[in-house]
Amino acid sequence: MNFGPNALDRLVTLLSKLPGIGKKSAGRMAYHILDGDPGYARALAGELAGLHQAIRRCGLCGAFTETDPCPICSDPGRDHGIICVVERAQDLRVIEESREFHGVFHVLGGLIAPLEGIGPNDLSIGKLIARLRGAGPDQGVKELILALNPTVEGDTTALYLQKLLKDFPVEITRLASGLPVGGDLEYTDRLTLSRSLRGRVRM
């Protein structure tokens, strides 16, 4: 597809590399920006240009942060005895929004996926072990919550970690898997249903 002016074409090509954005949506976005206030385009440009300078990864947990260690790792009000292990930094936000968790995090940076060539060594597991050993400010970790996606890769990684860490005096738990709240039995897939049956809880 040719979007006419070269500058517009280049913008569309770049925008279409964003997740979930095809050539058509990218075109719509580009025209919207072009049609709109130049101040908006400049503001967006400024944020993008400065993004990687402004945000780094927390040396402790691996979350995106403007300060190192991140606000969560350096918060004495959080329970440093419970570490919630997530796949990606963005998963941290979802858990924070639930307001159910008051411990600290650890970002693995991926999941074990042999078909994609991602093994345990590609994940931030060494750092996690160091934290369990008490190398950092987290002393006496009692529980490790594996908040990994209920997928083949998530299950594989959870099992791997469980085996690897079995000699540490730490309880390893996983997020409950089952029917989503507001869900409908009729439209629930077989696997989710069988998991929610196996994991049924006494009322």
DSSP assigned state of 56: E
Nearer to a copy of itself, 8 or 170 (CB): 8
* Positions in the binding site for a copy of itself (CB under 8 A): 1-8, 10-11, 14-15, 17-21, 25, 27-29, 31-35, 38, 40-52, 54-55, 63-66, 88-90, 92-93, 96-97
Residue 146 φ/ψ region, left for φ over 0, alpha for ψ in the -120 to 50 degree band, beta for the rest: beta
Q: Minimum CB separation from a copy of itself for residue 153, in Å?
A: 17
Nearer to a copy of itself, 104 or 132 (CB): 104
Nearer to a copy of itself, 51 or 135 (CB): 51
The runs of H, that is alpha helices, within the chain are 6-15, 23-35, 38-54, 89-98, 125-132, 152-164, 190-198
* Tokens standing for residue 70: 């991140």
Q: Minimum CB separation from a copy of itself for residue 18, in Å?
A: 5
SS3 189: coil
